Amino acid sequence: MSIQVGDRMPEGSFATMSADGPDSVSSADLFAGKKVVLFSVPGAFTPTCSAKHLPGYVQQAAQLKAKGVDTIACMAVNDVFVMDAWGKDQNVGDNVLMLADGNGDYSKALGLDLDASGFGMGQRGQRFALLVEDGVATGVYVEGPGEFKVSAADAVLAAI
Per-residue pLDDT of the chain (160 residues; tens, 9 = 90+): 799 999 999 999 999 999 999 999 999 999 999 999 999 998 888 778 787 899 999 999 999 999 999 999 999 999 999 999 999 999 999 999 999 999 999 999 999 877 666 666 657 688 899 999 999 999 999 998 889 999 999 999 999 9
Q: Which of 3, 9, 37, 49 is catalytic?
A: 49
Q: Is 23 helix (H, G, I), strand (E, B) or coil?
A: strand
Q: Is 33 helix (H, G, I), strand (E, B) or coil?
A: coil
Strand blocks (E) in 93-135: 97-100, 113-115, 123-125, 128-133
- Rounded Cα gap, residues 30 and 44, in angstroms: 21
Q: Domain map of the chain by residue range?
A: 13-159
Architecture of domain 13-159: 3-Layer(aba) Sandwich (3.40)
Let me know if 74 is a catalytic residue: no
Q: What is the pTM of this model?
A: 0.93
Task: Write phi, then psi, for 152 (nearest 5 degrees).
Answer: -65, 150
